[in-house]
Amino acid sequence: MLRRTFLGLLGGAGALAALPATAGAAGKHFGPHPDTMAVLFDATRCIGCRQCEKACNEVNNLPAPEKPFDDMTVMDTERRTDDKTYTVVNKYATEKGGVFRKMQCNHCLEPACASACFVRAFKKEPNGAVTYDASVCVGCRYCMVACPFSIPAYTYNDPITPRVVKCTMCSPRLAEGKLPGCVERCPKEALTFGPREEIIKIARARIDAYPDRYQHHIYGEHEMGGTCWMYLSGAPFSEIGMREDLGTTSAPELTSGALAAVPMVVGLWPVLLGGIYAVSKRNQKVANAEKVMAVKNALTKASSEAEKKLSEELKKADVANKRLIEVEVKKAVEEALSAKDEDAASSEEES
C-alpha cells in the first residue's frame, strides 16, 4: 500500500471524527425558514372529484394513469403515492359518513427523507418545499424507509436511471409566482395556500368558527416537528388514514443521539483499548519477570543445597580416606615390623 494512500485513510478517520460535529452544528436543523409557505387541506370541503390529481399529473408531466381521472371507482380501494403519482385522494368510511382525504408529500419542516439521505439529494427550500435531486441519488431508498408518512416512491422497473418520485410542492411554479397545480385547480377551495403562520391562523379560525364541525386539532402543526401541509377534518384523523401516534419529535432529533455518540467513540475507544493493551502487556511482563525470578531462586536454592551436600560428601570421603590411609599405613608398619621380627628370629635360628 502506498504511504500516501494510508495517510489518506488516516485523514479519513480524522474526518470521521470531525464530520459528525459539523453535522451536529449545521445539519440538525433543515428549517424552518421564516417565509415557509404551506397548504391547508380541509377534509370537510373535499368532494373527491380528483381534479387535484389530474392537475398534478398535467403540470408535472407525469405518465397517464391506467384509469382516467373521472373514473371514481379507483377510490374503492385505498391507494398511495407511487412512481407515477405525486398525489392521491382516498375515500374513508367514518362516523361522519364518507370522507375524502388528499395525500401527498407533507413537506416536513425537518424532513425525515433529507435527514436520512446520505448523499444530500433532498433539500428543504426556503419556500417550504422539500425537493429531490436525482443527479446524485444512489438509490438506497433509506428516504422511503425513513418517511413517517410513507410518501416517496421508487421507479423499480427502470434498470439504468431509477429515481425517487414525490411531490415537489410545485417548487418550480412557486418560483414563477404561481400556485401549486392542485391548489389552483381545486373547485371547492378545499386547499388553501399561504405563509405557514397565516395558514395556521386560518385553520384555527375555522375550528373556532365551527367547533362542532371540526376536530380540534390542526394535523401537521406539530406532527413530526411540524409540516407544511396541514389538515382539518370533521372525522377523527385516525379514521381517515392518518397516524395519530407519530409524536412531535422531528426525524433529525430521533437520530441525533446516535450521531452524537460517534465522535465520542472515536475519541475514547483508542484510549480505552490502548489502556487495556498496556495493562495486559504489563501484566504479562510482570508475570514473566516473576516466573524468571522464581526459576532463578529455585536454581540458586538447588545449587547451594547441592554444593552443601557435595562438600559434606567430600568431607565424609576425606575422613574415610584418611582412615583408610591410616589403616594402610598401620598395616604396612605392622607388616614391616613383623617382617623385621621374623628376620630377627630366623637370624637367631641361624646363629
97-156 positions binding other proteins, by CB under 8 A: 112, 114-121, 136-142, 144-146, 148, 150, 153-156
- Give the span between the Cα atoms of 215 and 238, in whole angstroms: 11
Site string for other proteins, 44-83 (x = CB under 8 A): ------------------------------------xxxx
> What is the footprint of other proteins within residues 157-196 (CB under 8 A)?
157-159, 161-163
CB of 268 to other proteins, least distance (A): 9
**Smaller CB distance to other proteins: residue 42 or 239?**
239
**Smaller CB distance to other proteins: residue 5 or 61?**
5
**Smaller CB distance to other proteins: residue 279 or 329?**
279
CB of 172 to other proteins, least distance (A): 22
- Cell numbers of 340, please? 623385621
Calculate the CA dihedral of residues 320, 322, 328, 331 and round it to 10 degrees. -100
Q: Which residue, among 242, 197, 255, has the nearest Cα to 215 in the 3D structure?
A: 242
What values do phi and psi take at 173, rounded to 5?
-70, -40
246 binds other proteins, rule: CB under 8 A: yes
- Give the span between the Cα atoms of 106 and 142, in whole angstroms: 17
CB of 93 to other proteins, least distance (A): 16
- Give the span between the Cα atoms of 120 and 111, in whole angstroms: 12
CB of 117 to other proteins, least distance (A): 5
Residue given cell 385522494 in the structure block: 89
7 binds other proteins, rule: CB under 8 A: no
CB of 67 to other proteins, least distance (A): 18
Site string for other proteins, 28-47 (x = CB under 8 A): x-------------------
Q: Do the bridges between strand 229-232 and strand 37-42 make them parallel or antiparallel, or are there none, so unpaired? A: parallel
**Smaller CB distance to other proteins: residue 202 or 259?**
259
CB of 237 to other proteins, least distance (A): 14
Inter-residue contact 154 to 144 (CB < 8 Å): yes
Q: Do the bridges between strand 97-103 and strand 88-94 make them parallel or antiparallel, or are there none, so unpaired? A: antiparallel
Can you list the positions of beta strands (E) in the chain?
Answer: 37-42, 88-94, 97-103, 122-124, 130-132, 153-154, 164-165, 191-195, 229-232
The helix (run of H) or strand (run of E) holding residue 74 is none
CB of 27 to other proteins, least distance (A): 4
In the list 19, 62, 179, 207, the residue contacting other proteins (rule: CB under 8 A) is 19
- CA 33 from chain center: how many Å? 28
CB of 201 to other proteins, least distance (A): 28
Q: Contacts with other proteins: how many residues (CB under 8 A)?
A: 71
Question: Amino acid letter at 58?
Answer: E
Q: Which residue, among 168, 179, 166, 181, has the nearest Cα to 55 in the 3D structure?
A: 181
Inter-residue contact 219 to 237 (CB < 8 Å): yes
Site string for other proteins, 281-320 (x = CB under 8 A): x-xx------------------------------------
1 binds other proteins, rule: CB under 8 A: yes
